Amino acid sequence: MKKIPLLIAGLLLVSISTMAQDKKPTAIPADVEKLLTQYACLACHKADAKVIGPAYAEVAKKKYTDAQIVELIYTPKPANWPGFPPMAPMKHVPKDDALKIAGWINSLASSKKQKI
């Protein structure tokens, strides 16, 4: 009789372990991570978790173009993200860097679709 509860406990642990492995954080390419760090973006945003601002994966779901994301970096629109504090304009980010960040953000939407 004691074997059944042990078996159930073992299966539960394996199940929990598998679920934890499925929720690995999204890797950020080194060149993009350098930019996100340089411009302090990671202070408020993470790839797949809400911090102060929305997760980049959530931004990708909005299907903005790269140019629209760049514009939102320079001139945030708090009405687009109710429930989050307004983002400060990041006009000091060079356009090439902002485009690289935007391209990576949008790649999160396509990588999620490919995994399904």
Specify the CATH number for the domain of residue 79: 1.10.760.10
Q: Residue 103 falls within a domain, yes or no?
A: yes
The single-letter DSSP state of residue 25 is P
pLDDT at 15: 46
pLDDT at 4: 54
Q: Residue 14 falls within a domain, yes or no?
A: no
pLDDT at 25: 78
Domain count, the chain: 1
Q: Residue 21 falls within a domain, yes or no?
A: no
Identify the bridge partners of residue 112 per DSSP, sorted by sequence position.
none
Does pLDDT of 102 surpass 90? yes
Q: Residue 18 falls within a domain, yes or no?
A: no
Token reading at 56: 């980049």
Q: Which residues span the domain enclosing 111?
A: 26-115
Q: Give pLDDT tens digits for 12-70.
A: 444 444 444 456 778 999 999 999 999 999 999 999 999 999 999 999 999 999 999 99
Indicate if the alpha-carbon torsion angle 76, 78, 84, 88 is positive or negative.
positive
